[in-house]
Amino acid sequence: MKETAFLVLALIFFNSCKKEVKQDTYSEDNLDVTTTIYPDNISKIFDAHGGIDEWNDMKGINYGIQREDYVEKHNVNLKSRKSVIEYKHHLLGFDGENVWVKNLDTTTYKGNPRFYYNLYFYFYAMPFIIGDNGITYEEGPTLEVDGKEYPGILISYEAGIGESPEDQYILYYDPDTYKMTWLAYTVTFFTKEKAKKFKLIKYSEWATVNGLQLPSKMQWHQFDDGEVGEMSNEVNFINAYLSKESPDDTLFNVAEGAIIAE
């Protein structure tokens, strides 16, 4: 009887532990993934980039994008996902509720603020961003480039997650190192319907920031029917910094004179 009771208690404990797989609390104070259980290949990719637990210890990130005649500065609270981007002629921010734009001179902002305010953050925070809640993982197609095959993981979102839950990503990783190498993605923000055509980024260079591997160079390539073509665009990231301290919350407040995006 004692052995039977012990076995029952052990099974109850094991099952309760398995249920604490992935729980996020999105709030100003706490956006924390409480688990270390992911599909094996996802876990190995996280480890190859410094570890998901180490990433979850970070509360703030800022980095720059080198433009032709200035540095575009991004500042993000990793827990609340509030953000502000400093362009040459504009400020673009998200205060947790509103997306806002402020023109710094007479130049009018011509983009869609709700589309752009977190666009580069999602690319830059890969692969760690796929550790968020509400994400599903499936085996994706293999990408072959210059005779080497890169296994793919199809990333999808549950309904109601983010600005564009219909978006899909395919993360391609090096089977020898488990480092992320390519990222295919769809854009559904404007149609709100799942897209069939993927765009493709090569993560060509990485930088070590507080022990974590973050991209320092991305290259967009032509991509038709699974065939990788010529590079069409290149973006360089500089001055990256991660912090275990939350950024000053006032940085993300709607700036005086800003316009709230619809």
Per-residue pLDDT tens listing for the chain (262 residues): 433 443 333 333 333 332 333 333 334 443 444 344 799 999 999 999 999 999 999 999 999 999 999 999 999 999 999 999 999 999 999 999 999 999 999 999 999 999 999 999 999 999 999 999 889 999 999 999 999 999 999 999 875 455 555 689 999 999 999 999 999 999 876 455 565 789 999 999 999 999 999 999 999 999 998 899 999 999 999 999 999 999 999 999 999 999 999 8
Render 151-162 in DSSP notation, one character per residue: EEEEEEE-TTSS
* Prediction pTM value: 0.82
| Bridge-based pairing state of the strands 199-209 and 259-260 | unpaired
- 186 to each of 158, 192, 211, 223, 226, how far by Cα in Å? 15, 11, 30, 12, 14
Encoded tokens for 53: 């637990």
Distance CA 199, CA 223 (A): 6
- 42 to each of 73, 146, 213, 244, 246, how far by Cα in Å? 30, 24, 15, 24, 27
Pick the CATH number of 39-260 from 3.90.930, 1.10.3210, 1.10.287, 2.50.20: 2.50.20
Is residue 209 within 8 Å of residue 216, measured between CB atoms? no
How much is the pLDDT for 192? 53
How much is the pLDDT for 1? 42
How much is the pLDDT for 191? 53
β-strand partners of 140 = 152
β-strand partners of 149 = 144
Counted residue by residue, the chain has a size of: 262
Distance CA 245, CA 205 (A): 27
Q: Is the N-terminal amide bond of 215 cis, ω within 30° of 0?
A: no
| Bridge-based pairing state of the strands 60-66 and 90-94 | unpaired
Encoded tokens for 65: 């994008």
Distance CA 72, CA 250 (A): 20
- Quick one: how far is CA 186 from the chain centroid? 14
Query: C-alpha angle with apex 241: 238 to 213, nearest 5 degrees?
Result: 75
Distance CA 54, CA 151 (A): 25
